[in-house]
Structure 1
Amino acid sequence: MTSAVFPSSLAEGDRIINHYPEKKLEQKVNIRKPPTRSFLHGAGTCIKYLILVLVPLIVASGAVLYLSPESVHNLVGQITFADKPQVKKDLKDDFEKLSSVFTDQSPLMWNRSRRILERHLENWKANTEPAIILLAGAQDAEQTLLCLGTQLADIYSSSLSGNYTVISGSDWVSGSNEQVKEYIDHRLSEGFQATTQAAVLHRLEQLPAGSLLILYKYCDHESAVFKDVMLLLTVLLDDPTLPKDIPPLDLEEKVRAFLIQKLIETNAKASHDGMDRDKFSGVWSRISHIVLPVYPEKESLEQCKNQMKA
């Protein structure tokens, strides 16, 4: 049986034998046209791009197979935290300089505050909660309280090449719970998403009671929205002075009782504005990890005022 011979050109197509007599001779057998030049060009381009993508991946995969686990970990860390700033983890010099100015503070204050800040910086990007310090002072330490608080916030934020912000309760004595809560939320959220690394909430006892509920959002030990930041809180007690040898637990209880009396017992509207003893207990458990005493300074106040103005 003789095999069919296909025409070598489209001109010869008119002489194609019709193997289907029942069909009209005008119907020609469909012949698949060879790929056009544009199609071949597009396919070639796709193959080139595919090679450009696959070759580096194959090379990288092969390289990873020969890397040690430690090298792989370092490589992943560099890729994951490409935007990580230079973190200063040793605060010894900063605290020595600060303690040489604030000479009347207790060793307890210096040791515990330095320890928590260094530990937090050491675990930067792996912290499960923010660094929270509560400073409490008597009436004779009113100016030192803010002064020292801002200096600690500055040490932490500078270690991350950032800045700090201050929210003062004295500015919101007549504010409503919702108004102040929204303001604090906005300031903290906007700042922490930018370059703010630390926030000072000064004079908690002057804030509207219900506004403190925002601290659930920022101070929770499991679900705080920002974990690699510092929150420094201050409370000015009614006591004229604090004993130099006050035990830490006694100070903690004193501050707790003072805030309950100030925010709840003397505030008849507190229970109607969202704050009660149970809710305050929840707030307190989140902010009272470290409660430290602040004593008055005689020599450093003028210098501190100048630093805060700068």
Structure 2
Amino acid sequence: MQQGTDSRSDPGHDTKEKSESSSEPEETQTEKTTQIPSGSETENQPHSGTGPNREVDGEKGSKPERNEESPLNIQKPEEEETASDEEDVVRDENVQPQIIVQGNNKTVWTAAAVILLALVCALCQRSPDSTPPIPNKVDVVDVFNQEMKKLETTFPNQHPELWRRSLIHLRRHLKTKNPTEPVSLILTSGHRAEKTLGCLALCLARAFSTAHNSSVLNINGKNKASQDSDQVKLDIDSELRKAFEGKKSAAVIHRFEELPPGSTLIFYRYCDHENAAFKDVFLAFTVMLDAEVEVPSNVSLGRVEEMVQEHIKQKFVSSDKSATFNQMDVDKLGGLWSRISHLILPVAAEKKIEEQGCGDWDTSF
């Protein structure tokens, strides 16, 4: 009886029991956070309740359980850290060391570029499908220059201005990649240089056509003088078209002044500045002046042009009145003249040619 009274009357003892009882759930929570519970541990754990056994366990096992480690305790952070370290070691062993070569990088790349360029050049030279180079305008001009030098020796009596002007005029057209109009000129002389006139015109046309690797068409106005104007016009149109569509790049219209006046209107089509039917061709016209007229050696080119224009007007235009569409008049002659009179050059007689003719072309005129 005395013991029961003492235990009830001792508030400190009650307080101690309550504190020990309250500390047990906290210790249990601590153990749960650090231990993976198993089935046996769950069965051995005491159930919540009051009694001496619970108090004794709390007094005896609370502190030792904090310092001792259970054999089932799994240290996850340490094992994960160890596994991570092992993976880093394996990764470091598998990484190949990078070798950095300093100093010679520029030299190596330069050598590689040179070798590659040499291989490309070798392949281009050995390629069986490579096409031969196409002759350009420079080659054409060189051929023309050589032919013109030959002509200077064949016609030694000609004025230097004739060679200079004709060379510049024709060579400019040859140098043009895509000409917009044909090239033409007029050669003129008196009767004393009749054969020389026709021969020189043919030789100039041959020099031009040789540069183009082609031949020359020759039209003689004297042979058509008495024919119908409309028919001559059709004939000239057909001859020029067939020649320029074929293997001929030059044409000589010898004795232009003898053609029927209306037939010469066809040259609007072939000598137009912008709408010519053929642009990469050469037309050489010859005009022989009246028998009593001779071209002085010291005459200016401007005066020569006036002499030729006056002579053509007298031959082609009978009056100043307008004519029908297929007949020549002053206005039509003015339009035609502007198309064919780019360069007019006088021709001097060559004694040898006047006596012996112009070789194979002598029958042409």
TM-score between the two structures when normalised by the length of structure 1: 0.69
Among 283, 291, 294, which residue is 2:344 paired with? 291
CA displacement, residues 56-103 of structure 1 (integer Å, 9 cap, x when unaligned): xxxxxxxxxxxxxxxxxxxxxx9xx97989952123322222111211
Among 250, 256, 266, which residue is 1:198 paired with? 250
Aligned-pair CA distance for 1:245: 1.1
CA displacement, residues 180-226 of structure 1 (integer Å, 9 cap, x when unaligned): 11011000011100101000001111000001110100001111110
Letter in 1 for 2:183: A
Which structure has the larger Rg over C-alpha atoms? 2
The answer as to 2:179 corresponding to 1:127 is yes
Contact 2:295 2:304 (C-alpha < 8 Å) held by counterparts: no
Report the counterpart of residue 214 of structure 1 in structure 2: 266
The answer as to 2:230 corresponding to 1:139 is no
The answer as to 2:233 corresponding to 1:178 is no
Letter in 2 for 1:289: H
> 1: CA distance between counterparts of 2:191 and 2:357?
18
Larger RCO (CA within 8 A; separation ≥ 6) = 1
Letter in 1 for 2:284: L
Aligned-pair CA distance for 1:108: 1.3
1:206-245 correspondence to structure 2 within 5 Å: 206-238=258-290, 239-245=292-298
Report the counterpart of residue 150 of structure 1 in structure 2: 202
Task: Specify whether residues 267 and 204 from structure 1 end up closer, same or farther in structure 2 by C-alpha distance, changes over 3 A only.
Answer: farther
CA displacement, residues 270-301 of structure 1 (integer Å, 9 cap, x when unaligned): 93552100000000000000001011110234
Structure 2 residue runs of 5 or longer lacking an equivalent are: 1-130
Letter in 2 for 1:271: A
Aligned-pair CA distance for 1:166: 0.4
Aligned-pair CA distance for 1:131: 1.0
Report how many aligned residue pairs link the two structures.
230
Among 153, 161, 164, which residue is 1:108 paired with? 161
> 2: CA distance between counterparts of 1:248 and 1:85?
30
The answer as to 2:150 corresponding to 1:97 is yes
> 2: CA distance between counterparts of 1:180 and 1:82?
39
Larger displacement relative to structure 2 (98-107 or 144-153): 98-107
Task: Specify whether residues 263 and 215 from structure 1 end up closer, same or farther in structure 2 by C-alpha distance, changes over 3 A only.
Answer: same
Contact 2:137 2:175 (C-alpha < 8 Å) held by counterparts: no
The answer as to 2:342 corresponding to 1:261 is no
Aligned-pair CA distance for 1:106: 1.0
Structure 1 residue runs of 5 or longer lacking an equivalent are: 1-77
SS in 1 for 2:313: helix
> 2: CA distance between counterparts of 1:180 and 1:117?
28
Letter in 2 for 1:245: N
Contact 2:195 2:358 (C-alpha < 8 Å) held by counterparts: no
SS in 2 for 1:274: coil
- The ranges of structure 1 where at least 4 consecutive aligned residues each deviate by more than 3 angstroms after the TM superposition are 81-87, 270-273, 300-304
Task: Specify whether residues 109 and 254 from structure 1 end up closer, same or farther in structure 2 by C-alpha distance, changes over 3 A only.
Answer: same
Letter in 2 for 1:131: V
Q: Percent identity?
A: 38
Contact 1:85 1:160 (C-alpha < 8 Å) held by counterparts: no
Task: Specify whether residues 160 and 86 from structure 1 end up closer, same or farther in structure 2 by C-alpha distance, changes over 3 A only.
Answer: farther
CA displacement, residues 139-195 of structure 1 (integer Å, 9 cap, x when unaligned): 111111100000000000011100001000011011111101101100001110010
TM-score between the two structures when normalised by the length of structure 2: 0.59
Task: Specify whether residues 177 and 83 from structure 1 end up closer, same or farther in structure 2 by C-alpha distance, changes over 3 A only.
Answer: farther
SS in 1 for 2:352: coil
Contact 1:87 1:121 (C-alpha < 8 Å) held by counterparts: no
Larger displacement relative to structure 2 (240-249 or 86-95): 86-95
More helix by share: 2
